[in-house]
Amino acid sequence: MATHHVSSLSLLRPAVVGTAALRKFELPFSLQCRRRPCGSFITRAAGTDMLGDFGSRDPFPQELESNFGEKVLGFQSTEHKILIPTATALSLSQQDCSPVSPLQAPMSADDARKLLKKIVGWRLIDEDGGLKLQCLWKLRDFKCGVELINRILEVVEPTGHFPSLHLEQPNQVRAELWTDSIGGLSMNDFIVAAKIDLIKTSDLVPKKRIWA
């Protein structure tokens, strides 16, 4: 039996693949689409949570008349698998922070450097024997610094994971992230950093001079 693997974050919104109308789902498990001999498709959840069958329908008369089965790539015995990545494959800014046990080991420097590529403007610093994330903003004036801190607090408050914020004279804001309970970095720090990256700052930074 031939098997095709398709990697996707979500199923297509009502688009007919053969005769299967697949609706959009964002689920952390694998789906299997098996073509029935009569021409219809049946979709099954293949994971720890068995949700049963969904998305299956019989072909319409017009589809039968068009001999659509002869035009579909593959054979009647072909099994199509749609593999949906886990949450770690999603953008960091779309993920939620999770509780961190004090017994958990801090993130290694190698893992931290890999995740550092997924956030903008942050750097790793080694302070007091533990890794931290640090980001600096040069702003137009002191008032813009206060406004940026307010915007950061508004974004991170729902996460429950707060950065250390410093308003430094005359126009600089410094943010540092680490997980104090484990004395280093956790995934939560990178998630919060990615959410902070989405904050609009174009109206707070110094305006560029344009020379004629």
> 211 lies in a domain?
no
Residue 84 shares a structural domain with residue 96: no
Task: Give the end of a domain, one of 62, 88, 114.
Answer: 88
Q: Which domain holds residue 48?
A: 3-88
Reported as a pLDDT band with limits 50, 70 and 90, residue 129 is confident
Number of domains in the chain: 2
- CA 180 to CA 104: how far, in whole Å? 12
User: End of a domain among 88, 111, 127?
Assistant: 88
Element (H, E) at 3: strand 3-7
How many C-beta neighbours within 10 Å does residue 44 have? 17
Specify if 47 maps to a domain: yes
Instruction: Say whether both 102 and 192 belong to one domain.
Output: yes
206 falls within a domain: no
C-alpha to C-alpha distance for 3 and 136, rounded to whole angstroms:
50
Answer yes or no: is 63 within a domain: yes
d(C-alpha 24, C-alpha 37), whole Å = 25
SS3 state of residue 83: strand
pLDDT band at 158 (very low <50, low <70, confident <90, very high): very high
Structure tokens at 154: 């508004």
Kindly indicate the confidence band of residue 183, based on its pLDDT and cuts at 50, 70 and 90.
very high
Q: Say whether both 23 and 84 belong to one domain.
A: yes
Is residue 210 assigned to a domain? no
**Structure letter (DSSP) for residue 140:** S
Domain CATH for 190: 3.30.1360.20
CA–CA gap between residue 132 and residue 177 (Å, rounded): 6
User: Residue 134 and residue 50: Cα distance in Å, rounded?
Assistant: 43
Same domain? 55 vs 134? no
User: Is residue 105 very low, low, confident or very high in pLDDT (cuts 50, 70, 90)?
Assistant: very high
Structure tokens belonging to residue 8: 């996707």
State which of 88, 116, 135 marks the end of a domain: 88
Is residue 152 within 8 A of residue 163, CB to CB? The reply is yes
Q: What is the pLDDT of residues 24-70, one digit of tens each?
A: 444 444 444 455 555 544 444 444 443 444 445 676 777 677 776 66
Handedness of CA 152, 178, 205, 115 (dihedral sign): negative
203 assigned to some structural domain: no
Residues 108, 44 share a domain:
no
Considering the domain architecture, whether residues 96 and 193 belong to the same structural domain is answered as yes
Beta bridge partners of 123: 134
83 and 16, same domain (yes or no)? yes
The predicted-structure confidence for 77-104, as pLDDT tens digits, reads as follows 655 555 555 555 568 999 999 999 999 9
The answer to whether residue 209 sits within a structural domain is no
Contact 148, 203 (CB under 8 A): no
Please indicate, yes or no, if residue 202 is contained in any of the structural domains: no
